[in-house]
């Protein structure tokens, strides 16, 4: 139960105990680690990109990672993102 909450926080805000739990959790569930990384990366695109061009470039790279990940849920997310509203 406690491990679930660490997945909702950025890894830079994890406590020492949460970092230890994440190591154990991600060692056992590699797909979960991939999903966490993809979600965190998408959040960073929204937070850090200041221009449409920059966001478009990072989203294209993120889409490639999503396709390579093989995680069907993220492929659905990637398809559902409409570039115009995201980049405004």
> Can you give the pLDDT at residue 21?
94
Number of neighbours of residue 55 by Cβ within 10 angstroms: 18
The domain limits of the chain are: 2-87
- CA angle 75–81–84, rounded 5-degree value: 150
Residue-wise pLDDT tens digits, 79-88: 887 655 555 5
pTM: 0.82
User: Residues 52, 87: contact at Cβ < 8 Å?
Assistant: yes
Residue-wise pLDDT tens digits, 37-52: 999 999 999 899 999 8
Both tokens of residue 23? Answer: 């190591």
């Amino acid at each position: 139960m406690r491990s679930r909450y660490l997945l909702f926080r950025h890894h830079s805000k994890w406590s020492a105990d949460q970092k230890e739990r994440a190591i154990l959790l991600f060692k056992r569930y590699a797909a979960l680690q991939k999903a966490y990384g993809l979600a965190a990366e998408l959040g960073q695109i929204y937070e850090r990109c200041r221009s449409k061009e920059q966001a478009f470039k990072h989203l294209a790279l993120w889409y490639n990672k999503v396709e390579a990940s093989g995680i069907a849920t993220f492929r659905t997310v990637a398809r559902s993102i409409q570039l115009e509203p995201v980049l405004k």
